[in-house]
Structures are given as structure tokens and as C-alpha cells.
Structure 1
């Protein structure tokens, strides 16, 4: 069971699989039909129960569509054969009188020795009207109008008013279709009942539309039971996690999802590397030349104050715990200080080489003197690991202070060190054991590579995991330069329509009320189940044709959490987002500044950059990159290019 299996966002996404057929289809397509893709990082959610409920909801709708199809076949057969119509038969198969449906001379035989003039048009109407086609037109109009309005096409719907508000209202075309469908349905029932009670004998036109209500009503009752009994807030918190169906394929998919969705080693899509984190929010970066202070001694950092604790960057780091920082981020416990190993006995120093006279020419083939060497006033090289190890304690202090003084969500702040890898070997062959992850992390933190990238992820789950703030930090210290990249992302709340599960849990259930709802929902719900069945069949065929097991491996294309998110946030949520991002960025900046001071580097230019960013003077688009301009008259320009139909950033 994952750490977020019972989170509020997970619960609402599970409910959304029953209420939104498009969300359910996209979830199954991404996680099942494209098994070759690694799953996107799941921030604050567990996608395994979401997929399990999506598969269950799809199976229920397919069964409902199967029963509805059988009823439609019977309806069509009875209507086309004339059984049950006022066709001049006696129910035993007697042929009508010669002369057409009205018989010879305007009479029609209805039994031995029985004949009467047909003056009413009801019998002719019953014989000439294709009742199945009329009712099919009613169903298609109501379903098409609902789908065009953006109300979805799921069989079960709780609150159409809430769905309309979530989608912005019905469009004019959908409104016309819905009202025309209702008018056509009213005309159908008035005509069918009038013909039936007038002796037309068109009982099939009345019975079969009512029979179509039965599978829809049973489906609604089953879904309501799941939403009320399994996905209510109280029940979901205590029930075991929903698992995928039995079978080798689903066991393989479930194991891959559990292994990847919360791992600290993630496969990314080159065109959208931060899938799963949400929308970019004020991405910024800058480059700074590392210059030593005039009072800093060559070859050593700044001297610590008397009585101060040793600098974290000078303490040996335990690769299994201190360097990782991920366990503390999950559990909320403080990271224990690493214990220094006893010093090895010093080896006898070799005699120093005689110094070359000033201005002497370099030996042939000798490399030029390094600008960061003692001649340039340099000493120990500042590494990205040292900076990361200084940022982490400040995040711990921020979390501890928030927990002691308030109920702020910063008390639940998490941080992890992530390594992003480009898609390469099949997902099952990517080693994700602790040793492999630690090896990637240790190698990537200071290499500054283009493919493999190391990030410190700081995450704050606010509003019951409805709003997730993620700040990804990357540091370069190569070539005498410090490059700091800060990439905040925001996950917006789950769609409001999915919260209908809470309204259902509190709703008083009445059998007659549910019967009336099933009758009214039957026309559009029957078409919705048929659409779901067709989509399922197409998905199975596409999966068989595509054969994910032999497809080339790829990174994720979509995130389940993002698929179920709305594009709107409230003003309160926007204020909280800004506060969380600024607070985390301040802790990051203070850690970098202290690392520079501890190693004897100047910090005045760095502090100027940070002040400009804090005041909005430097702002880098909304992309994982950007441009920075400082000084009078300078300009920062961001250019967006199209790469294979996708947007890519170029600054």
C-alpha cells in the first residue's frame, strides 16, 4: 500500500472514474493500453486504486450495454415483424384480409366471423410507425445534447447542475438538441399510449422502452452503492486499497505502478519532463561567477565561529541516509546528524618540488593553470552536494517551526532527491533497488549532464492534497560558475464534479425517487453504455494491434492526477500557493548563500539576484529554462518554438 492510498485526492479520483467516462478512458489508456510507458510521478495520490475502480466501472458499463443490446434486438425484431401491432391478426398468426391493412371494402377481419369498419387512424398509425426508430432518435438526441454540453457520457450522473457549472454551461447547439429530444420523447409517449388505449395493440412500443430502464436502474444502484459504501470519506479511510483484477498482466502492471509512481528514480518525457507535477509557476534561474572574498584564506573556507556546530558540508555524509533526505521527507522526522569517521593516520609527506620561478615557461604538453587554483585565490571546489546538504537542514527547520507554532501545511513539507532519466531500456529492466538509486543520485548530483538530471524536490500538499506545490531545485557548480535553477509547479484541485460522491453519501435514498431518476436517465444512459462498450472494444483491439510488450519504451505522456484536475483555483488557494513557493525559495536561497560564505566566496552579487527575483525583477517564463537579464538597459526574452507539434522552450 502506497503512502497516499487513502488521500483525499485519491478518493475523489476513484469516484471520478464512475462519473466521467473521458477521465476513465484516458486513465486506462495511459496505464494499461500503453504498458511500455513508465508512469508519471504520483504526487499526493496512488494511481493503483484509481485504475482498479476505472476497470470496475468500465466492466459494469459493458455489462449494462450488453443487457441493453439484447433488449434493443428484441424491440427491433418485434417491431419489424409486426408482432404486437394492430395488424389485423388475432394473435394466432391469421393473415389480414385482402386489400391491405384496411381489408376489402374498408373492413378487416379480427377473428372468425368478426369484422368491423376501421374508421380510426390508430391501427394505421400503429402499423406504419417504426417505433424502435422513433425511440432510438429520442435516445440519440438526449445523449448527443448531453455530450455536446460537456456533461460527459457516463451512465451514472448525480448532479447535473454541478456538472454544468464545472463545464461552463450548455452550448446553444446542445440546448437545442436536448429540448428537441425531450419534445420528441413526450410526443412518443403520448402517441404510443393513445394508440395502445385505442385498441391499436402496439404493446411493444410501450413495453420495450420500459424494459430498457431495468439495466440502467440496476447500474445506477450498483454505482451508488460503491460511491456511498466504499468511497465515502469515512469508509475510504479504513478500507483496504482496491487492487487490480486477477491475471498475470494486471499483476505485472500493478507491480510496475507500485515500483515507479513514488520512486526517487523517474523516467521522463523529453518534451514534457515534469509530467505529474502540474503547471509551471514562476520558473527562474541565474548564473553567477564564483569569486572569493578578499579576506578568505586560500585553500580553506570561512572559519566557523567559536562554539558553532561543524559545517554540514564538512561532515562526512552517510550515503544511505544523510545524502538521501527522502525518508525524512516522508516520515516527518528530523535527519540525524552524520557521525564523523575516525581520521586515517597521515602518510609521511613527500618533499615538496622546488617552485618554478615566476614567469617561467610551462613544460611542453602541460595543461594550463586552473583559474580556480591557488593562483586565482581558489581553494576547495564548491560542489552541488555541499549546497544540497545545506538546503536540507533549513527545510527541516522550517517544517519543525511550522509544526510547533501553527497548523500550517508547511508542517507536512516533504523533500526528496530525484534523478530524472531519459527513456531507454524497457521499464522492467530499469534497476530501482536502493543501491542503484543511490548510485545514480551520487553520480548525477555533481555531473550537470543533459540526459540524467538531479533535482531536490520540495513538496507541500495543501487543501487536503487538492493543491500540491512542488519546487524542484537544480544546482551547477562547474567551471567556476554557480547556476541555480528553481522550477516551481502547481497541481490544481480535482474536478468539482468528482465531489458529487460526498453529496450522494449524505443523500436520503428513496426507492420511488430512484425509479423516477432511472426512467428519466434511461434514454441517454443507454447510449452512454453503448458508447462505453464501443470504446472498450476499440481499446482492446488497439492494444492487441499495438502490442505494448514489444513496443519501444517511452516516458509518460499523461498524468492521472493532471487528467482529473480542474484549471481553476480560488483566490485563497492562489494566496497559499504564493506563500508556500516564496517560503521554500527563501530557504533554498539561504542555504545557497551560507554555502558560498562557508567556502569563502562573495555573496553580494548572489543576494542582488535573489532580491530581484523576490521583487519580480527577474522572471523566467513558464518553462523549464528561461533567460535572465540584469543591469540597466538589459532585456530578457523568451522564445517558444514548435518541435514535432509540441511546444518547446528556447531562451
Structure 2
């Protein structure tokens, strides 16, 4: 199949990418969302992709969309033939009743089919094609409700609501099957009593089932050929179509999905990171260590052997990050040397967040971002070079913003661990402030859960292939009408996107990433093991961050006592009280505290009232 040629991304063969590609075959709603986000909203930059490459996902989605269009056209032809057969039967019935030589035109036959006394279904109120259309809609509705069942449970709705949703889906399934049985019973009964004297009410449903069978067989062949766990890493995957708008789209996605920068909406800045796991911060005053003489800093810390020599340079956010990063690199190398822990694949980078309000191709003026509260564009517009994501622009903004402590433009140290074959993605964002003689450390951790269970079921589906022909035939008879309606909806969406894709988009307002496809396909619930691993990853990374900040304070000659106390409070869950006068303290789940104006007997100092002699 022709497609655009491009260098393969380092995440193109990950398990997460494979399951997302399989998901576009299994979930029509997800497939349409992929195409709508990446093609229909090309004005939006792509959200940061964690452990996935969305280009193969889009290529498979477009391939299925083309298959949907072909199937929809075949289904349309079959339904048109079904309707024409009904009309011809009515026409023939009216002609026989009016006698030879009577002129019966199309309008008379059409009116007789709906308003007259001609009945071609042996007593049913609608022609055969219309009755089967009701059956097809019922099957489609039952399938749609059944697919929504797992999604409803993921929403965490109250148990009565979830049970009611399951009940509605089950009722729709049973009702649709009863309609199928009633249709075939009515036709067979008509053959027996002579009211149905033509085979077309059976032939066209069988033709529709055959088209649906072919559609399902094409999907299953694609899963076996490209997306099974045995073939995915070596098979050549489908490519994107050539020509506009896909040539530009490939360049844009390639540049944005793994770039160390993203545009953001202040209401939803961390698109794609998943569920917020933990957030903590602390602030402390930066106080130099003195040995009794002003501005003299001892070379060792508390006389400890091997302590790090101090300098008199001011501690900056850049210097702190420069000392945090080696701690994380050493953690990664140590994990690689000593075992198979996923920390050996830990990713570290300085990530830039820029506020929305400018097109992805506009050049941003340095220094104008936080002053105006939004981007200051150079006026080159969308016809300019791809400025926001140019390495030179990213480096310039990152160097300027790292120590400015601004509100809009922010630089984080982003640490990412992809565990369970990229099914568990843990991200820790760290930001350091050193303005006003203060040190402020912020840490934000997020967890992106595994890909949905139905997507992960692709291997179980592939293992059952090839299946017996009679099972496939029965499944096609049941699902083909719903497949036809699904394909019609998908084909209409494809046609609409094709028409609108040629509309000039230069006048559209600049946008920011709104949806992450990896997060869209993720489930919220973690297994117990995954939750334990996520907690371990976060605590391990936080400990290395703390070690880096501690080293930075010592190297620059600052006191670390207050820092150690803060860290004990944050990591140990304890309570640190530096000074206390009066009051009371209680510890433990059942502790009680009582304040006394005078010391209880036996607790005063020697010589004071209440102290035993």
C-alpha cells in the first residue's frame, strides 16, 4: 500500500503502540477520535506522546477508514437492491390487480407500497426491506450499548447506575435477537402458507451478511499480519497516504510528539501525563554557613571526612538541576548494572511549557512571554519556519526561563519510567526556584494507566484464528447489519473530513494540545502490582532529587539543617516543630493531649513546685 516514507520513531515498535494500533480495529469510536484529532484538527499541536508513536496508529486508522468506505458502498448497493426488489414486487402486484394494459408508473407503485393496500410481507405493516432495517438498527443499538458497558464501569458511577446500564445493554441484546428470530420466522411461515413467494427477503440479508463477513475477515487478517505479538516487531506497517495534507502532517507529528516542549492551556496544562498521583513542595530560606568570621565558609561540612568543598557562588535553579540530573543518571546506570528493574530505562530531560495563544509555526520573542502573560509573536504567522519546535528556539527559551521563575513559561526536569512494557507510565516533574533568598522545590508526579483491556485482548483474538466457517457465518449473520450501519457512519465522517481538509486553515485560531491518544486509551484502575511499582518508582526518583538538592546546598555553602527537617516531614510523614511555647502534642491514632497551666506533679525541674525532692 502506498504511503509516506519517514524514519522510524524509537517508540514505533513498543507494546503500547501495538495495542493502540489494534484498538483502531476493535473500537470504532476510538478510531474516529484518532482521525479527528490528528487529521480533523491539524491546527492543534500533538500532545506529548509517552512511550508511543501515533503515526502508525493513524496509518492503521486511515486504512480501516478506507475499508469502511468500501464496505459502506457495498452495503448501500445491497440495501438499494433490497428496496428496489420490494418496489418491483408492489409494482407487479398492482399491475396484476389492475389487469393487462394498465399503465402503472413509479409514483403509483411507490404510493401503493406505503399508502395503498398492497402488502408484500404477508400481513406485516412494512415491506421486507423496512422490517429488516428495523432489525439492523436494533442489532446496531445493542452492539453500541454493549461496547459502552466497560466504559460506564470505568466512570466510577454508583452501583445502581452501573447495574441499570448493564441491564439496558442486556435487554437491548435480547430484544435484538428476538427481532432476528421473528424476522426469519415470519419469512419461513410466509413460504409455508404462500404469502411470501419470492426468495429476495432471504437473499439480501444473506448478501449483507456476506459483505460483513468479508469486512470482519479483512480486520482479522490485518491483526494477524501486522499486529500480533509475533509479527509486529518485524512486519512492515502500513504507511500514510501521499500528498496533502499528509506530507505536512507527518512532519508536524514527528516534530511535536517527542519534542522537549509543548504549548499548554492554563486550565489543563499536563495533557497526556495521566492521573495525578502526588504533589509536594517546600520552601526554605537560603542561609550561608559561617564559622564565626563574616563571609568565611569552611571547606568541609561539619568536619566530616570526604565532604564536598563549598563555593561562594549563588545557588541558582540551573545549578540545582545540574546536580539533580547526575543523581538520576547514576540511578539509571546502577539499575542497569544490577538487575532488570525498569529504572534502567529511566528518561531524563528538561521540558519546556509555553502558554497557548500562538500558532505552532510562529516565532516567539524571548522575554515577552511572561511580561504580557501570553506569547508575543514576531508577526511571521503560519507561513514562517516551524519556530516553536525548532531546536534553537527551544534551547533559547529553556536557557532564559530556567532561572526567571515566571508564571507562564516554565521549565521542568521531567523524569519518565515506562514500566510493564509501557503499560505503566510514571512521570515526575521537578521545578526549582531560588529567587528572593529562598529555595522552593516543587515535585509533581503522575501515573498513566495500562491500555484498555479490550485492546489488550487482541492476542486472545488472534490465537483463535482461523475459526470454523460455520462459527464465522453465524457471527456474520448476527453482526453484519450493525457493521453496515457502523461503516456508513464511518464513511460519512471520512467524506466530511475529505471535504473539509481542502478548506484553508490559515485563519483558524491557534490552539494547544487537547487530547492525548495514549491517555484516551488508558484505563484508570491499576493492578496491585502496578500500583506498588508506581509508588516505588516515584519514591526512588524523589529520593534522588532530594539528594541532588542536598548536594547543591552543600556545594554552595548553605546550611542544610532546615532542608533535612523538611525532607523528613515530607518523606517520612512526621511532624517537625522547631520551636514551641505552651500548647500540647498528641501522637498515635488514639492519643490525647491536655494543656496545663502548671506542670503535673513530678514533672517540674528540681527545686520547682511539683518535683519530688
- TM-score with structure 1 setting the length: 0.74
2:363 is the alignment partner of 1:406: no
Distance 2:35 2:85 in 1: 38
Match of 1:535, SS state, is helix
How far apart, CA to CA, are the structure 2 residues paired with 1:279 and 1:237? Answer: 30
Q: After TM superposition, list the pairs within 5 Å mapping 1:28-107 onto structure 2.
A: 28-82=35-89, 94-95=96-97
SS for the counterpart of 1:238 is coil
8 Å Cα contact 2:290/2:297 also seen in 1: no
Q: 1:291 aligns with which of 287, 301, 305?
A: 287
Q: Deviations over 1:223-252 (max 9, x none)?
A: 101111101112111134543211121110
Native 8 Å contact 2:413 2:431 kept in 1: yes
Aligned to 1:531: 489
Of 356, 366, 375, 1:423 maps to: 356
* 2:96 is the counterpart of 1:138: no
Which stretch shifts more, 478-487 or 190-199? 190-199
Change (3 A) 1:390 1:519: same
1:541 and 1:122 mapped to 2: Cα distance? 42
Counterpart CA distance in 2 for 1:123 and 1:412 is 69
Shift of 1:426: 2.1
Separation in 2, partners of 1:237, 1:553: 37
Q: In structure 2, which of residues 23, 28, 51 is the aligned counterpart of residue 21 of structure 1?
A: 28
Q: Residues 88 and 133 from structure 1, CA distance in 2 versus in 1: closer, same or farther, beyond 3 angstroms?
A: closer
Matched, 1:395 2:328: yes
C-alpha contact (below 8 Å) 1:419/1:454 kept by paired residues: yes
Please state if 1:247 is matched with 2:243: yes
> Match for residue 214 of structure 1?
210
CA contact (8 A) 1:166 1:495 kept: no
Question: Within 2, Cα distance between the matches of 1:272 and 1:406?
Answer: 38
- Provide the rounded CA distance (Å) in 2 between the counterparts of 1:223 and 1:15: 10
Deviates more, 1:482-491 or 1:524-533: 524-533
Deviation at 1:400, TM superposition (A): 1.5
Q: Give, in angstroms, the shift of residue 14 of structure 1.
A: 0.6
Cα shift readout 1:238-294 (whole Å, capped 9, x = no counterpart): 134543211121110110000111111222222111111111111111221111223
CA pair 507-123 structure 1, distance change in 2 beyond 3 A: closer
2:179 pairs with 1:184: yes
SS at 1:281 equivalent: strand
2:347–2:416 contact (8 Å) kept in structure 1: yes
Q: In structure 1, how many angstroms separate the alpha carbons of the residues matched to 2:223 and 2:270?
A: 32
Q: CA deviation at 1:432?
A: 3.1
Q: Deviations over 1:405-448 (max 9, x none)?
A: 22111111110111111224421342434333222222121111
- Is the contact made by 2:16 and 2:52 (CA closer than 8 Å) also made in structure 1? yes
Question: Could you tell me how far apart the structure 2 residues matched to 1:402 and 1:59 are?
Answer: 46
1:97-155 Cα distance to aligned partner (Å, 9 max, x none):
69xxxxxxxxxxxxxxxxxxxxxx99871786511121111111121122123349xxx
Question: Which consecutive unaligned segments of at least 5 residues does structure 2 have?
Answer: 1-7, 101-117, 156-161, 363-386, 585-613
1:147 is aligned to 2:144: yes
Is 1:224 the counterpart of 2:231? The answer is no
Q: Deviations over 1:353-404 (max 9, x none)?
A: xxxxxxxxxxxxxxxxxxxxxxxxxx42101111111111111111122112
Q: Distance in 2 between matches of 1:527 and 1:14?
A: 23
Query: Structure 1 residues 41, 525: closer, same or farther in 2, change over 3 A?
Result: same
Higher mean displacement: 526-535 or 73-82: 526-535
3-state DSSP class of the match of 1:488?
A: strand
Is residue 2:264 matched to residue 1:268?
yes
Check 1:191–1:296 CA distance in 2 against 1; reply closer, same or farther (3 A cut).
farther
Q: Kindly tell me: are residues 417 and 500 of structure 1, through their superposed partners in 2, closer, same or farther at Cα, counting changes over 3 Å? A: same
CA RMSD of aligned residues (A): 3.1
Any conservation in 1 of the 2:68–2:487 contact (CA below 8 Å)?
Answer: yes
Superposition map of 1:174-573 within 5 A: 174-199=169-194, 200-295=196-291, 303=299, 379-429=312-362, 430-509=387-466, 510-540=468-498, 547-573=504-530
| SS of the residue 2:479 aligns to | helix
The superposition leaves residues 310-366 of structure 1 with CA deviations (integer Å, 9 ceiling, x where unpaired) of: 87x98xxxxxxxxxxxxxxxxxxxxxxxxxxxxxxxxxxxxxxxxxxxxxxxxxxxx
Report the CA distance between 1:301 and its aligned residue: 6.2
C-alpha distance in 1 between matches for 2:78 and 2:203: 10
Distance in 1 between residues matched to 2:358 and 2:441, nearest whole Å: 30
Following superposition, the deviation at residue 52 of structure 1 comes to: 1.1
Q: Deviations over 1:504-535 (max 9, x none)?
A: 22124133332222122112222222222233
Gapped runs of 5+ residues in structure 1? Answer: 99-120, 153-161, 315-378, 619-627, 635-651
Deviation at 1:596, TM superposition (A): 0.7
Secondary structure in structure 1 of the residue aligned to 2:29: helix
Q: Please state how far the C-alpha of 1:502 moved relative to its aligned partner.
A: 0.7
> d(CA) in 1 for partners of 2:222 and 2:325?
43
Q: CA deviation at 1:453?
A: 0.7
The CA distance in 2 between the partners of 1:302 and 1:59, in whole Å, is: 73
Corresponding residue for residue 339 of structure 1: none
**TM-score (normalised: structure 2):** 0.79
2:290 touches 2:298 (CA, 8 Å); kept in 1?
no
1:395 and 1:266 map into 2 onto residues whose CA distance is 23
Residues 300 and 380, structure 1, Cα contact 8 Å, conserved in 2: no
Change over 3 Å in CA distance of 1:416–1:298 after alignment to 2: farther
The alpha carbon displacement at 1:572 in A equals: 0.8
SS in 2 for 1:283: strand
